[in-house]
Amino acid sequence: MTTCTRRRFIGRLTNWLFFAALLLVALLIVLPIAIIVFTAFKPVTEVNAFPPTLVPGTWTLDNFTRIFTDLPFARLILNSFVFAGGVTLFALTFDSLAAYVLARIDFRGSNLLLIAIIASLMVPFQATLIPVYQLVADLGWINSYTGLIAPRAADAFGIFFLRQFFLSLPRDLDNAARIDGASEFRIFRSIVLPNAVPALVTLGIYTFINNWNDLLWPLVFTTDQQMGTITSGLTLLTGPDGIIPYGVMMAGSLIALAPLAVLFLLLQKRFIQSVASTGLK
């Protein structure tokens, strides 16, 4: 075997090993989702069978029927959309306003304010949970959409993320608009925001998914089952003798996963769009 042939062989072998490694990683990532999907369509006897099987021998929709009879699941879905969607809407609004001020307006104490915002990221969420709960309870917002959404209406990470993006936009447009007599809010609304769509979409997807999947927050701030979300509602599933109906739980998890998959498929082009491709038009 010549040196050139040996190199080609080693190159092809490396490519095949790399492809096999990627395929293995992909299978490991897809496997939990496959288990959720197949378990959701299994009858109870197959869910509890040993040894377990991956693909159901008999397909059934009973688990999807039970999830709506065992829980007020339609209301839980609505609550999840209101909670995650409301937090996302308010967070994008307030985060972008704060980020614009920190990135485009020079004022005394701006650096100190930015340091305080970044420092708040280092405080664990659990450390502030009890004080926030006490404040929400004093305001009478327990078991309400206001109590779920208001404490999360702004986020330090979102402010910092958008500020860094706003800094990358040229200031010449701001100065030209000011010369034409535009107000700061007009500059923010008509110049900065249209050029920050990829960053806003990315932050919006991140915020929506983070709140949609959150368990602790709705579990703490709601005691009424009618005000829970999908994640908190699934924790209430119990069967006879306290046995958890895993088939029903997987059906609920699959339903909860569907909106996130649709959201990402609709917005994936915006999500992966780089800053360089946002060119000013």
User: What's 100's domain CATH number?
Assistant: 1.10.3720.10
- Is residue 161 domain-shared with residue 89, that is, in the same domain? yes
Q: What is the DSSP letter of 180?
A: T
Which string of DSSP letters, residue by residue, matches 235-255?
TT---GGG---HHHHHHHHHH
- Is residue 41 domain-shared with residue 71, that is, in the same domain? no
257 contact partners, CB below 8 Å, separation of at least 6: 33, 36
pLDDT of amino acid 99: 93
Q: Regarding predicted confidence, which is higher, 55 or 85? A: 85
pLDDT of amino acid 277: 45
- Is residue 70 domain-shared with residue 139, that is, in the same domain? yes
Q: Directed axis angle between helix 73-104 and helix 246-272, to 10°? A: 30
- Is residue 37 domain-shared with residue 70, that is, in the same domain? no
Residue carrying the six token digits 């709705």: 218
- Is residue 36 domain-shared with residue 97, that is, in the same domain? no
- Is residue 146 domain-shared with residue 21, that is, in the same domain? no
Share of the chain above pLDDT 90, in %: 25
Last residue of a domain, one of 24, 39, 59: 59
pLDDT band for position 278 (50/70/90)? very low
- Is residue 55 domain-shared with residue 165, that is, in the same domain? no
Is residue 273 over pLDDT 70? no
> What is d(CA 160, CA 184) in angstroms, rounded to the nearest whole number?
20
- Is residue 34 domain-shared with residue 164, that is, in the same domain? no
pLDDT band for position 181 (50/70/90)? confident
Chain centre distance of CA 19: 30
Nearest-Å Rg of the Cα atoms of the chain is 25
Domain limits for position 174: 64-279
pLDDT of amino acid 1: 55
Is residue 175 over pLDDT 90? no
Backbone angle region of 143, left / alpha / beta, with phi > 0 → left and psi within -120 to 50 → alpha:
left
Last residue of a domain, one of 44, 59, 74: 59
User: What is the count of structural domains for the chain?
Assistant: 2
Last residue of a domain, one of 37, 59, 81: 59
pLDDT band for position 93 (50/70/90)? very high
- Is residue 71 domain-shared with residue 206, that is, in the same domain? yes
The tokens describing 233, both together, are: 């509602």
- Is residue 236 domain-shared with residue 200, that is, in the same domain? yes
pLDDT of amino acid 211: 93
> What is d(CA 97, CA 214) in angstroms, rounded to the nearest whole number?
25
- Is residue 127 domain-shared with residue 218, that is, in the same domain? yes
- Is residue 161 domain-shared with residue 272, that is, in the same domain? yes
The tokens describing 254, both together, are: 């699959």
118 contact partners, CB below 8 Å, separation of at least 6: 156, 160
Contact 190/127 with Cβ under 8 angstroms? no
Note the pLDDT tens digit of each residue in 126-161: 888 889 999 999 999 999 999 999 999 988 999 999
